[in-house]
Structures are given as C-alpha cells and as structure tokens.
Structure 1
Amino acid sequence: MQDFPLYFQLGWQHILDWQGYDHILFIIVLCSMYTISDWKKVLILVTAFTIGHSITLALSIFKVISVNTPLIEFLIPVTILITAASNIISKRQKPKGQKFKYSMALFFGLIHGLGFSNYLKSLLGKSSSITTELFAFNIGLEFGQLLIVAGIITISFIMIWIVKIKRWDYNFFLSSAIFGISFVMAAERLAVLIS
C-alpha cells in the first residue's frame, strides 16, 4: 500500500494534464447540458463512464485484451464528437432518455479506459503489486474527473444563473466548440491510423 499515494497522484495528474486534453473535453461535453440542480444525473453519468473505463483499463493491464493504440487514439475524439453532436441536436429531436445517456457514457468509458492503459502500463513496468497500483490510479482518475465536473458545473451555474445566458445557448456554444475541436483531432488521428 506504500505506492497507493503515488499512483493516486499519477491518476489525477494524468486526467488533468492539458497535454492529454481529449479526456478533459469528453468530461466537459458529457456534463455540459447539466447544472447544479442535476447533480444526481451527473453523478450517475460520471459513474457509468468510470465503470466503463475501469473495466477496460483492468482488462488491458492484466493482458486479457490488447490495445491497438492508433485505433484507440482515433476513437477517443470520435466519442467526444458523438457526445457533442448529441448535445447539439437534443433540442431539435425528442431528447433521449437518461438510460441511453448512461449507456453511452459506459460504452465510451470502455474506449477511454484503453487510452489510459498505455500510460499506466508505461508507469508499472515490471511491478509486482499491479492490483493496488491499478486501484490507486483509478481512484486518482476519478478524483481528477470530479474536479473537472465540479468546475464545469460551477461555470454552468455562473453562465446560466448569474450572467443569464439561456441554458440552450450555453450548451449549444460549448458543445459546438468541442465538436469542432474533436472533429479536427479525429481527422488528424485518422490520418495517422490509415498511414
């Protein structure tokens, strides 16, 4: 257990690292439709994402599944793109039920977990206590994720309730911006994947 604090710290630092901003963008767009009053929905949504990425992170670390790194690196911005598009069209179409959103977060979590696994594998090397380190890293990831969620929910509150921007306008602007960023990211990674 002496390595627990180290791997916990590495987990939250990894999720908050702006060099790997794709995971931050996903959490932002996943929560962009919600405000503080929706905290229960957000908690379930983030938990679904957590369960998904914890499963594939563990399966990859224990060598049950192997990771095609270029494919996963391409699929991560695709998950962001789809989530942003879902937010953008939600007003024009009949909104999907929360169960669909939870399922989507769980499924996309599976993809993101494979992305985290390469980083964690490089840290573990030939470590003998993989289970403890994997658990600590996952808890650290969740801590970092919750910081992002707290930040985005606070900003949403300020923009909607204090600045008085309409909720739909705020969500549309944020989701559209992230859609554009993730589109470029996916295109660049597709070029690497097919080269």
Structure 2
Amino acid sequence: MFRPPYRGRSAVPIAGLTLALIVISSGLLSSAASAHGVAEGDKGYIQEISGVHLLSFVYLGAKHMVTGYDHLLFLAGVIFFLYRAKDIGIYVSLFALGHSTTMLLGVYFGIGLNAFLIDAVIGLSVVYKALDNLGAFQRWFGVQPNTKVATLVFGLFHGFGLATKIQDYDVSPDGLVPNLLAFNIGVEAGQLLALSAILILMGFWRRSGGFFHHAYTANVAMMTAGFVLVGMQLTGFFIA
C-alpha cells in the first residue's frame, strides 16, 4: 500500500541511526523500566492544586507527548511511507481519536489498568508497525491488516496509557473535566510539534536519495526498540 520495494539492507544512514539510538537510549534511561511514571515535580504540583488550571494541564499534556518516546516511535512508523498530507492527516486523526477517547473515559470513570502491561502493549504497537512497514504480514500470512483500523485500535491502547499516567497525578475531582480537556489539548499540540519535527527529518532523509535503500534497516531498528520497550515493561511488571 505505502511500502515500495526495498533496494538493499545496508547500514542505516546517520540520521536514521541517530534517531534510533536516541529513542532506545531514552527508553533505557527512563526510570529503570518504569516508563509510565510521572515526574515527581509535576506530580507534587498537581496534588497540591484544585480547581480549573487549564494552562498547567495543557503544558503537562504537551510535555508528556513530546517526551513520550513510545508514542513518537509509533507515530514515526505510521507516517514512514506516507507522503501526501491527506494520508498523514487521516492516520494521525485516527490515532488522536483513539487515544483521546480512552484517555478521557479512562480517567473520568476511573478505569484502572496495570501501567506496565498497557505500556507493554504500546511497545507491541511499535513492533507491529515496523513489521507492517517491512511487509512481513503479507509474506508470512498472505494478508494485509487494515492499517487504518490498526492505527485506531492502537490509539485506544495509547490512550489507556495516557489515562494511567494522569491517574498517577492523583488529580483533584474539582475541575476534573476542563482540566482533562486541557490535558488532551496539550497532548494534541505536543503531537503536532513532534510530528512536524519527525516530518522535517524524514523530508531531508527522503531527499537524500538513500531513503528506500536504508528503509529496511531503519524499520528493523524500530522493531528492536519496540521489543526493548516490551521487555522493560514486562520486567517492571514481574519485579514491581
């Protein structure tokens, strides 16, 4: 669909390798397999306030998305072979619809999910998208999953991941709904900022002439990062 044939499997270019190393390193250094944790300073601030604080929650939402390497990896995989603005808009909108829905409902109704397990599923979403970009499902099973449905479904899981993080803040019920909406606006703003940066980098890479030549290696690196995330979260689940 969006996957041109690969023309080689040589080393990933400097930009792609650097991005992969940054992502993997940030994951490994992130709270010792506790990617679902929240910054203590932010947590303390939120626990001390009550009422409507729109700007604070917009900031927290944007900060979470911009520093959320698991979400950014999945988004990078989603847009890897998307060139038209219309296609990018459709897939990003489906992802946003999914994670906004479960984030808001999860917090409002107090749906409690194990943060380690939900983050492991998010790691699997990265693995899935890398395999999809590699055309693995067509080669292995002779079928192509519906990419739009998959993006929406994984967006739902990513939203539950966001919900567990917000519940870690122990947000006051006073002003909960407007604060949640502000947090979601921040998440979307952070997503747009991060997506813009990814698209700029991808644009330079695509114009370099070696994009298709190195795409295989880049997606293998992405898949490896996804497995690292899964391993971190499962380790955290069993030792917590």
Please confirm whether the aligned pair reaches a TM-score higher than 0.5, indicating the same fold. Answer: yes
Is the aligned partner of 1:55 residue 2:105?
no
Give deviations 1:57-87, integer Å, cap 9, x for gaps.
1121112632122210211100111011101
Contact 1:60 1:67 in 2 (8 A): no
1:14 deviation in Å?
0.8
Say which of 47, 72, 76 aligns to 1:28.
76
CA contact (8 A) 2:52 2:178 kept: no
Instruction: Structure 1 unaligned segments of length 5 or more: list them.
Output: none
Q: Which residue of 1 aligns with 2:210?
A: 165
Q: Tell me what 1:120 maps to.
A: 166
- Who is 1:109 aligned against? 155
Give the Å deviation of 1:124: 5.1
1:1-50 CA distance string (max 9 Å, x none): 96222211111111112xx4111211111111123xx1111111011011
TM-score (norm 1): 0.85
Between Structure 1 and Structure 2, how many residues are aligned? Answer: 187
Alpha carbons of 1:52 and 1:92: their partners in 2 closer, same or farther (altered >3 Å)? Answer: closer
Residue ranges of structure 2 left out of the alignment (5+ in a row): 1-50
- Letter of the aligned partner of 1:32 in structure 2? F
Judging changes above 3 Å, is the alpha-carbon distance between structure 1 residues 160 and 5 closer, same or farther for their aligned structure 2 residues? same
1: distance between equivalents of 2:192 and 2:70?
16
Give the Cα separation in 1 of the matches to 2:197 and 2:183: 21
Separation in 1, partners of 2:202, 2:137: 18
Show the counterpart of 1:44. 90
Question: Is 1:74 aligned with 2:124?
Answer: no
Instruction: Name the CA distance, whole Å, in 1 between partners of 2:63 and 2:209.
Output: 33
Percentage identity across aligned positions? 26
RMSD over aligned Cα atoms: 2.4
2:65 is matched with which residue?
A: 15
The alignment status of 1:6 with 2:53, answered yes or no, reads no
Instruction: Determine whether 1:182 maps to 2:182.
Output: no
- Partners of 1:60 and 1:84 lie apart in 2 by 28
Cα offset, 1:170, TM superposition = 4.4
